[in-house]
Amino acid sequence: MKLHHKSLIKLLQQAYSAEKAAAFAYQGHAASVKDPLQKLAIRQIEIDEWNHRTEVLKIMQKYDIPVSKFNELKFHVIGKVISFSCHVIGWFMPFYFAGSLESGNVCEYFRMMHYFHEIGISEHDEVLYEMGIKEKEHEVYFLSMIENHKLLPFFEKLFSWGRNSKNDVDLEKKYSVSESEIYCRK
């Protein structure tokens, strides 16, 4: 079955490649931290990103959506640059920017669900929901690492992320998969 939804196709292609960039970035981030528990947590997040990439590819293959060679190259380079930069920009910024990135990624998966619903497809709801929630868990983890850091208020003003999330998912009051259509509508 071919999809005739350009926004959905573009979002799937972008998400597939961006997950590789995130995984590469977390390789550098994990290598740059000294605390063994932080290192372990970041490595698990990297594994989650590789798993998300696999799941997105399965969906793309079902609808004969090609992998974007341009996105693959672009995000490969971005991921490697970020990975390297984690070793030179200090401790705070990798946590901050990882949290900000994850905050935006949450809605990526719920938007995919919305787009699929627009064309009458709901079979991917469970996996898209799980990936969106997992991205929220990542965001919460990264914020918890920096929530008391003296630079957070400055970065919140400058980059519009911190204690105010870029999404409306609340892990304490989660909607079920069937109710999650409400997420990320703004």
**How many CA atoms lie within 13 Å of 158's alpha carbon, on the beta-carbon side?**
8
Indicate the pTM of the whole model. 0.94
Average pLDDT, the chain: 96
- Tally the domains of the chain: 1
Average pLDDT for 157-183? 94
Full residue range of the structural domain in which residue 149 is found: 6-182
Residue 167: CATH number of its domain = 1.20.1260.10
Tens of pLDDT, residues 28-37:
999 999 999 9
Hey, CA dihedral for 7, 8, 9, 13, is it positive or negative?
positive
The amino acid occupying position 180 is S
The amino acid occupying position 34 is K
On whether residue 1 sits in a domain, the answer given is no
